[in-house]
Amino acid sequence: MMRETGRRLLGIGARARFAAYSLFEKKSSGDSNFAPEAGKYILKSPDGALEVTVSGGRLTYSASVGGITVIEPSEIGLLIQDGRNIGENVTLGEPKIEPCEETYRDLDAETDITDRHMNYIIPVRAKKIIYSFEVRIWNDGFGFRLLFGKDTGLLISDELTRFNVPGDTVCRYQTDLKKMQGKTLTQKTSELSQSEVFSCMTAFEFPGKSIYIMITESDIENYPKGSVLMGLFGSNPYMLRHYFQKRGMSEHGITDYERFKREFPKAGSAIISFWTKRPLLSSLHTVAVESMENGGVRVYNFSNSRPDPRELSGFDDFVKKSSHFIIGYIK
């Protein structure tokens, strides 16, 4: 998230965090910074130019500046231990709205800075799970996070939040995830690789519109540091579930490697995605597998250089470590 700086840079931040919060505290719907529409809420910055739209059903958000879309409708979600995405089938409560203004001292510049923003807390119900979606909006940026009670007891398998940036933008990014100080690459967003893995803090330029956005993170407590943007423009192994759901298929995803190996024999076939080497620093690969009578597995799409299928003694022959396993889909 970013404070007001007077520059034409829009900061966008996302981070899930465990925290306690009082749910369902109501605010008068007559507030001028809150414009409700059917099935969604339009949240505004103090000057009204930056708008963030939050929709229920499948929890999504979008953003615009001066009427120009900078983030197209994008999903927000977390995959939990039982394979559910708590961003699906959600009902939104009435937001709590709080205008905020505070002054603090910038010790480097030896000057006072005024932090002025709007804070919105939206209660969310995903079946039996209740949490809050917090959005904080400045005139030049916004951030959001999910807030849970201390005793929620959820085990998070993965983040499913997306950032759908318009394809006519120019992306400046780096893929050196070890140093995070590598060469900055520049490319049209529409021409980016479908399976690229980027560092967080990726910038996008809107040619001819004097608008730039940067995706970053902040306020990370009790949560993994150093997020990356994976499958931002196409390839995301967690999204296969949408294909199955739309076709009424019963396949479900398992992200725990040992649990997957225990449940696989009953299913007899599966689709799995895994890292070929070190997670995030190597390529990800997706294969189809089926069990054999001798206890081994037959693997399809194993390699471009060798004919399919490959018959192996087990999953450990190609998923070298449990940390390399991403997700497996079985019936």
Using one digit for the tens of pLDDT, what is the confidence trace for 13-34?
443 322 222 222 233 334 444 3
Instruction: State how far the Cα of 152 lies from the Cα of 128, in Å rounded to an integer.
Output: 11
Q: pLDDT of 163-206, one tens digit each?
A: 888 878 898 887 666 666 677 888 887 776 655 556 667 888 99
Q: Give a yes or no: residue 59 inside a domain.
A: yes
CA dihedral 184, 185, 190, 192 (to 10 degrees): -110
Give the C-alpha distances (Å, rounded to integers) separating 178 from 46, 194, 203, 232, 282. Answer: 39, 21, 19, 19, 11
- Asked if the structure places residue 97 within a domain, the reply is yes
Average pLDDT of span 151-165: 78
- 3-state secondary structure labels for all residues of 91-120: EECCCEEEEEEEEEEECCCCEEEEEEEEEE
Residues 6+ apart with CB under 8 A from 82: none
The CATH number of the domain holding residue 52 is: 2.70.98.10
Is 1 inside any structural domain? no
Domain for residue 70, yes or no?
yes
Does 123 fall in a domain?
yes
Q: Does the global pTM surpass 0.85?
A: no
- Number of Cα atoms under 13 Å in the Cβ half of residue 161: 22
Cβ atoms < 10 Å from Cβ of 176: 13
Q: Which of 1, 2, 9 is nearest to 204 (CA)?
A: 9
Residue 285's domain comprises: 240-330
- Inside any domain, residue 173: no
Written as one string, the DSSP assignment of 46-105 is TTS-EEEEEETBTTEEEEEETTEEEEEEEE--EEETTS-BTTSSEEE-PPEEEEEEEEEE
What pLDDT was estimated at residue 196?
58
Say yes or no: 57 and 101 in one domain: yes
Identify whether the C-beta of residue 53 lies closer than 8 Å to the C-beta of residue 70.
no
**Is 191 contained in some domain?**
no
Domain total of the chain: 2
Q: What stretches of the chain show up as alpha helix (H) in DSSP? A: 240-246, 257-267
C-alpha distance from residue 183 to each of 172, 176, 207, 217 (Å): 10, 8, 22, 20
Q: How far apart are CA 260 and CA 77, in angstroms?
A: 22
pLDDT of residue 48: 94
Whether residue 277 sits in one domain with residue 213: no
Cβ–Cβ < 8 Å for 195, 234: yes
pLDDT bracket for residue 280 (50, 70, 90): low
Does residue 219 sit in the same domain as residue 301? Answer: no
Sort 52 into a burial class: Cβ within 10 Å, 0-12 / 13-18 / 19+: buried
pLDDT at 223: 63
- The pLDDT of residue 222 is 64
Q: In this structure, are residues 172 and 204 in contact, taking their beta carbons and an 8 Å threshold?
A: yes
List Cα–Cα distances, 148 to 60, 86, 160, 216, in angstroms.
Answer: 18, 12, 17, 22
- pLDDT, tens only, 217-237: 777 666 655 555 555 434 567
Cα angle 260, 265, 266; round to 5? 100
More confident residue, 210 or 151: 210
What CATH number does residue 317 fall under? 3.30.1490
